[in-house]
Amino acid sequence: MASVLLSALHIEIFSTEDMVSGFVMLLESAEDTALDILDASNELAFFLARAVIDGVLVPLNFEEIASKLPANCSESETVHMAQSLIAARHGGERILRLEDAKNKIQKLLEEYESGGIVSEACQCIRDLGMPFFNHEVVKKALVMAMEKKNDRMLDLLQECFGEGLITTN
Position 158 scores a pLDDT of 93
For residue 89, pLDDT over 60 is answered with no
The answer to whether 143 and 127 are in contact (CB under 8 A) is no
Averaged pLDDT, 68-89: 82
For residue 136, pLDDT over 90 is answered with no
Segments making up each domain of the chain, as ranges = 2-88, 93-163
Query: Which of the residue ranges 17-21, 72-76, 107-111, 137-141 would you say has the lowest mean pLDDT?
Result: 72-76
pTM of the full predicted structure? 0.54
The answer to whether 1 and 54 are in contact (CB under 8 A) is no
- In which band, very low, low, confident or very high, does the pLDDT at 4 lie, cut at 50, 70 and 90? low
Quickly list H helices, the chain: 2-9, 16-28, 30-36, 40-53, 59-67, 74-87, 91-113, 118-128, 135-148, 152-163
d(CA 169, CA 164): 11
Q: Name the CATH architecture for the domain at 2-88.
A: Alpha Horseshoe (1.25)
Report helix, strand or coil for 95.
Answer: helix
Q: Classify residue 127 by its DSSP letter.
A: H
Paired residues of 10 in beta bridges: 14
Using only C-alpha atoms, what is the Rg of the chain?
18
Length of the chain: 169
- In which band, very low, low, confident or very high, does the pLDDT at 168 lie, cut at 50, 70 and 90? confident
